[in-house]
Structure 1
Amino acid sequence: MHKLTTSRRALLAGIAALPAATLLPRIAHAASGKVRIVMKDLLTSNPEDVAHIERIQAALAERGHDITLEIVDLPSEGYAEKLNLMLLSGDIPDLIYFQGGDEQISSQGVLRDLNPLIAETEYLADALWPHNEARMANYPYLMYVYPPRTKAPVMRADLLAATGMDAPTDLDGWDVMLRAIPGTALDGTPVTHGIITPNNTAEMDAVFDPAFGVTSTWMKNDAGEWISSRVSDAEREKLRWYASLYADGTLDPEFITSNWEVKEDKFYTGQVGVVMGTAGPVVGIYEAKMAQVNPGAELMLLTPPAGIQAIDVSKESRGFAIPVTTENTDAVMAFLDFIASPEGQFFDRLGFEGTHYTRDGDTLTATDRFGEWYPRFIITDPSVYTPPLSALSPLAQASLDQGVEYFRPDNSFVFPPELAASVDAAESFYRTAVFRFVSGETSVEDDWDAFVDGWMAEGGAEMTDYARTVLG
């Protein structure tokens, strides 16, 4: 395997050949040039991808731009590794979609700071969601204009009715409702467990952290010192509650060996009452599948007891980047700005007339293939643009709105590469210890101090020392 410094040499060799003016680009009124785009699942073998790119190019021409758009094919399987190999070979597209691996590239100084470029745009600057702005302030090399990937709790409405309870609004209400679900009958069959969280407690944490005072990744202790929330008193209280749910069967005891597929199957078949789904399309999938498996069953969105977990704004985990070798930065930005415009959003979010929707005058109607289309590039903040048709059901849209309503930025940050081993070791130790606490193998009363000492020894001490230099 080549080292990334090879990529830096290849890229910097390209920089040396560029006119000085291209190093400090400014978006011109009319842009020109070729824009080569590499993106996971954007392929010339997909006729709709090709047609989509062609109509965007035509729309740009109507606006006075002379831009040629070209799809760079890269297999979806193993995309991140194949992208890295392509970049190392010196084949550097103009617009690159990263799904991991970008930090190694950006640390070589070969990705542009996107903030000054976005600031000059007509539409894109306003299209960013609050979490996008926060992430790009911390890490300006990736742009991913999509809603935050928050978790939303859902359950069958008839199950709640069968418990005889109202929807919970606080932690006490949640506790009573979850414990009431096991044994409550649905379609004549008792539900076995109240809730499940696949593989670890992360999905429950996303909904219940704030209710216990776990408000951010780093919190201050009684002495006013920054500590990880993993070893806070608030975390201890949360795990005590999880353990009580596990002990009486409210929390499915098989959660640790259940992946997302098992979780969903247990939900659809009435073995568990409450699950958390990724807000938006995933909640919509749960809704549709539940109705398919149980005709007439309707899902309802539940309100988290105290908001949702703070959102990581240290950086985008995926998104688009522009390498410094790009000769046509103005053309790249003209392309992105068009996608963020009302016309571009109409294209990118609704698909093709006659295939995904029909038009009768000013009235658009979704076809049965509307759900097959998905936005390729951008979903703008809804305060900027709302499409006339939405692929989301009211429930799925409400789950997205819930994430926006409760958005709070976290104070997490990116650790330097030299601490990567410490971060991994501390997280592995934490996850193992959490299951032992929740399952009753150990006790938060008797074994908490040993857990804190162990976490610190497994890399937590180095993480904490670094955090205190960052957070002050």
Structure 2
Amino acid sequence: MPYNVSRRLVLKTGAAAALLASTILSGPASAAPVTIRVALKDFLSTDPTAVAYVAQVEKAMAKRGHDIHIELVDLPSSGYADALGIMLLSRDIPDLIYFQGGDEKFASQGVLEDWRPYIEKTKYLKNALYPHNKARLDNYPYLLYVHPLRAWQPVVREDWLKKAGAKPPETTKAFAALLRTLHEHDFDNDGTKNTWGITAAGSLEELDGFLNPAFGIDATWLKDEEGAWVNSQISDEERDKLKYYHQLFKDGLLDPEYITLNWQTKEDKFYTGRAGVVSASNAENVVTYETKMRALHPDVSLTVLDPPLGPKGQGLAAVDVSKESRGWALSALSEHKQEVVALLDFMASPEGQFMERLGVPGIHYKKEGDQIKPLAALGSWESPFLVASNYDPPIELLPASAEKYIDNTQRYFLADNKFSYPPEYAAALDAATNVYNAFAYELVSGKANFDQWDDYVAQWKSSGGSQLTEYAKQVLK
């Protein structure tokens, strides 16, 4: 099930419930009809499905004492962010706003409300948040995006894992051994041993996503032996990790073309048996991989592997928790904040999540007695508001591999100490990152050797890294 929340709504609510017990949100219900405007991309009044969904939300909310009418107001899908910005600058500010960037300038002007005191009073929403939601709200409380975390995780064919005679690898050594087995055997039965153990699309980030913590890289900024802050790109831990990657490359386990591949070519290698393991960046990727793989191999399922335990730890790469890059904002100028939060609280409730996950009866699913039967349209349904972390749907909406992906993002979550730099540091950041990317590839591919590590560190510092480090010392203390 996709997790995109880019949509648009407008709500109108009237005097309905009087009893506190009947409200979703603690606090008094609205005493008079109000209009709540909600800016949300790609959920349009011209879409019959959107209109039908809105109608069922209105009906459910009315039963809970919030007589809400949802009036859809359309912003263009193409250029949504620009159109939204123009609307807000004209002082036409909806009550609930979905941002895809551009939110910070409005937050700095006091236009956006701090979500935290409102969420604290909710019945359901406060328990629906993921760990990264909570961390990001503490650092930037103006955006809320309750959806599973994006994090690179390794995916392998279940039948090939069994053919390899291996259980899911638990250590970096066992992971390398699995890649070797995939490389040295003709599991696709094409008559040649032409399968790379693992491939990627253009960078090592797809491996870093599940191997960084194994080598002690659990944050962007680490402490050296003297207790001083050092960027992970020039750390001893990074050097050890790149040595591991180099050995994979040298042994033919890491696809030598990884640096030039795009995502389509990477995935094609996986589907056609030219790569045994690929990384997925979100649960939707896993669903796509499994769907396309089954189109070619109907009986094949996929397995999402746990990040392997390494010399210094285990986990998924540390997550930037400085802020959400997209999500919902509550207008500080709204006169109907309680009603807006009540709506989101309902959408986080079991009944609301049933709607969010299964869509509209007769369009996305049908009921036959006590049985829920998904219809074809469910495959393209996108949850408009949120995907709660604590909801267990009544039917299987995702393959086991995608469910495992989501579970892993919570189980292995690490908060990064990454922060935003002032604009004047942009050139230094780009230059240092470029030096790292170029030298990392040369080390992994064998075009450079690890005796040159000190030279690389000096170049990283002189290109702008020293400036970054001095600023980091001020921020991190």
- Structure 1 length-normalised TM: 0.88
Matches of 1:86 and 1:420 in 2, distance apart? 29
Matches of 1:85 and 1:312 in 2, distance apart? 29
Q: Which residue of 2 aligns with 1:117?
A: 118
Q: Which residue of 1 aligns with 2:414?
A: 408
Give yes or no for the alignment of 1:234 onto 2:240: no
Matches of 1:127 and 1:254 in 2, distance apart? 41
Q: How does 1:192-207 map to 2 (within 5 A)?
A: 192-207=195-210
> 1:336 aligns to what SS in structure 2?
helix
> Shift of the alpha carbon at 1:221?
0.5
> Shift of the alpha carbon at 1:461?
2.1
Report if aligned partners of 1:144, 1:378 keep a CA contact under 8 Å in 2. yes
> Shift of the alpha carbon at 1:433?
2.6
Change (3 A) 1:34 1:432: farther
Give yes or no for the alignment of 1:454 onto 2:459: yes
> 1:465 aligns to what SS in structure 2?
helix
Single out whichever of 422-431 and 174-183 deviates more from structure 2.
Answer: 422-431
Matches of 2:171 and 2:143 in 1, distance apart? 37
Matches of 2:452 and 2:73 in 1, distance apart? 54
Report if aligned partners of 1:57, 1:68 keep a CA contact under 8 Å in 2. yes
Matches of 1:237 and 1:145 in 2, distance apart? 36
Q: Which residue of 1 aligns with 2:347?
A: 339
Matches of 2:165 and 2:332 in 1, distance apart? 61
Change (3 A) 1:403 1:243: same
Alignment RMSD (CA, Å): 2.1
> 2:406 aligns to what SS in structure 1?
helix
Q: Which residue of 2 aligns with 1:29?
A: 28
**What amino acid does structure 2 have at the position aligned with 1:430?**
Y
Q: Which residue of 2 aligns with 1:224?
A: 227
Matches of 1:187 and 1:451 in 2, distance apart? 41
Give yes or no for the alignment of 1:436 onto 2:442: yes
Single out whichever of 108-117 and 160-169 deviates more from structure 2.
Answer: 160-169
Report if aligned partners of 1:212, 1:237 keep a CA contact under 8 Å in 2. yes
1:309 aligned to which of 317, 323, 326: 317
Matches of 1:107 and 1:121 in 2, distance apart? 26
Q: Which residue of 2 aligns with 1:100?
A: 101
Report if aligned partners of 1:74, 1:83 keep a CA contact under 8 Å in 2. yes
Report if aligned partners of 1:33, 1:68 keep a CA contact under 8 Å in 2. no
Residue-by-residue CA offset, 1:23-51 (whole Å, 9 max, x unaligned): xxx97421352222222322223221222
Give yes or no for the alignment of 1:127 onto 2:128: yes
The gaps in structure 1 that reach 5 residues or longer are: 1-25
Matches of 1:166 and 1:343 in 2, distance apart? 39
Q: How does 1:19-98 map to 2 (within 5 A)?
A: 28-31=27-30, 32-98=33-99
> 1:273 aligns to what SS in structure 2?
strand
Report if aligned partners of 1:181, 1:191 keep a CA contact under 8 Å in 2. no
> Shift of the alpha carbon at 1:441?
2.5
Change (3 A) 1:418 1:334: farther
Residue-by-residue CA offset, 1:194-220 (whole Å, 9 max, x unaligned): 111211111100011111111111110
Report if aligned partners of 2:315, 2:412 keep a CA contact under 8 Å in 1. yes
Q: Which residue of 2 aligns with 1:323?
A: 331
> 1:274 aligns to what SS in structure 2?
strand
> 1:359 aligns to what SS in structure 2?
strand
Matches of 1:290 and 1:140 in 2, distance apart? 40
Report if aligned partners of 2:137, 2:323 keep a CA contact under 8 Å in 1. yes
> Shift of the alpha carbon at 1:141?
0.5
Change (3 A) 1:73 1:421: farther
Q: Which residue of 1 aligns with 2:177?
A: 176
Matches of 2:200 and 2:105 in 1, distance apart? 32
Change (3 A) 1:431 1:78: farther
Report if aligned partners of 1:37, 1:70 keep a CA contact under 8 Å in 2. no
Change (3 A) 1:94 1:428: farther
1:269 aligned to which of 272, 278, 281: 272
**What amino acid does structure 1 have at the position aligned with 2:466?**
A
> 2:72 aligns to what SS in structure 1?
strand
Matches of 2:106 and 2:452 in 1, distance apart? 42
Q: Which residue of 2 aligns with 1:295?
A: 298
Give yes or no for the alignment of 1:467 onto 2:472: yes
Matches of 1:431 and 1:415 in 2, distance apart? 20
Q: Which residue of 2 aligns with 1:359?
A: 367
Q: Which residue of 2 aligns with 1:214?
A: 217
1:389 aligned to which of 370, 392, 395: 395
**What amino acid does structure 1 have at the position aligned with 2:65?**
G
**What amino acid does structure 2 have at the position aligned with 1:392?**
L
Single out whichever of 46-55 and 68-77 deviates more from structure 2.
Answer: 68-77
Matches of 1:82 and 1:227 in 2, distance apart? 42
Matches of 1:438 and 1:238 in 2, distance apart? 10
Report if aligned partners of 2:220, 2:231 keep a CA contact under 8 Å in 1. yes
Change (3 A) 1:87 1:421: farther
> 1:246 aligns to what SS in structure 2?
helix
**What amino acid does structure 2 have at the position aligned with 1:317?**
S
Change (3 A) 1:72 1:390: farther
> Shift of the alpha carbon at 1:249?
2.7
**What amino acid does structure 2 have at the position aligned with 1:235?**
E
Q: Which residue of 2 aligns with 1:377?
A: 385
Report if aligned partners of 1:193, 1:271 keep a CA contact under 8 Å in 2. yes
Change (3 A) 1:103 1:425: farther
The gaps in structure 2 that reach 5 residues or longer are: 1-24, 309-313
Report if aligned partners of 2:186, 2:195 keep a CA contact under 8 Å in 1. no
Ranges of 4+ aligned residues in structure 1 off by more than 6 Å: none
Q: How does 1:235-250 map to 2 (within 5 A)?
A: 235-250=238-253
Matches of 1:167 and 1:359 in 2, distance apart? 38
**What amino acid does structure 2 have at the position aligned with 1:158?**
D
Residue-by-residue CA offset, 1:266-324 (whole Å, 9 max, x unaligned): 10011111001134232122112111112322222222112221222221121101222
**What amino acid does structure 2 have at the position aligned with 1:52?**
Y
Q: Which residue of 2 aligns with 1:145?
A: 146
Matches of 2:234 and 2:211 in 1, distance apart? 16
> 1:194 aligns to what SS in structure 2?
strand
